[in-house]
Homo-oligomer: A and B are copies of this chain.
Amino acid sequence: MKSSSINLPAEKIIKREKFDESAFRQMIRTMNLKVTDQRLLIFEALHSGRAHVTAQEVFEKVHAVDGAVGFATVYRFLRSLTEYGFVTEVRMGGMSARYELTPKRHHDHLTCMSCGKICEFENHEIESLQERVAAQFGFELTSHVLELYGHCRDCTKAKLKKS
């Protein structure tokens, strides 16, 4: 039941626009897929609560509303959403994949390994340096993963107090 290795418990809930069912219906149609209750529930789950969720977490949220939904459906739809770019898969180390509704702006992540806080940042300098590196090697860049790991201020403070 418990996931292996590091867990990422507390993440602040990010303020988000109102859940817009008809927009989600539209996205599903764009993908040439059928609109089902399950798929709307999955969207709902992605839209509320913490921004970066695992497939299991999505499954649990969906399952709480409709106990009949199977996790295969969740995995399957998350995969489609990722392929179409509506959802972005984020992988940190050997942990299980996390998903977020693809944000308007590209960003990368800074994760606290003590408390699981995830901060999002965008840094155009880094982005263009990446392009430059790729060009130097004659590569056409298609994607990248930039994940920073460390300890946030609160956790660093807490550790100091203890010792």
Contact = CB atoms under 8 A, between A and B. Distances in A.
Main secondary structure of the interface of A (DSSP, over half): mixed
Interface residues of A, number: 36
Number of copies of this protein chain within its complex:
2
A34 interface: no
Given A93-B91, A126-B126, A149 B140 contact: no
B142 A150 contact: yes
A8 interface: no
Given A94-B97, A121-B136, A144-B149, 15 more contacts: A91-B94, A110-B133, A110-B139, A112-B139, A125-B125, A126-B126, A138-B152, A138-B153, A139-B148, A139-B150, A139-B152, A142-B149, A142-B151, A144-B147, A145-B146
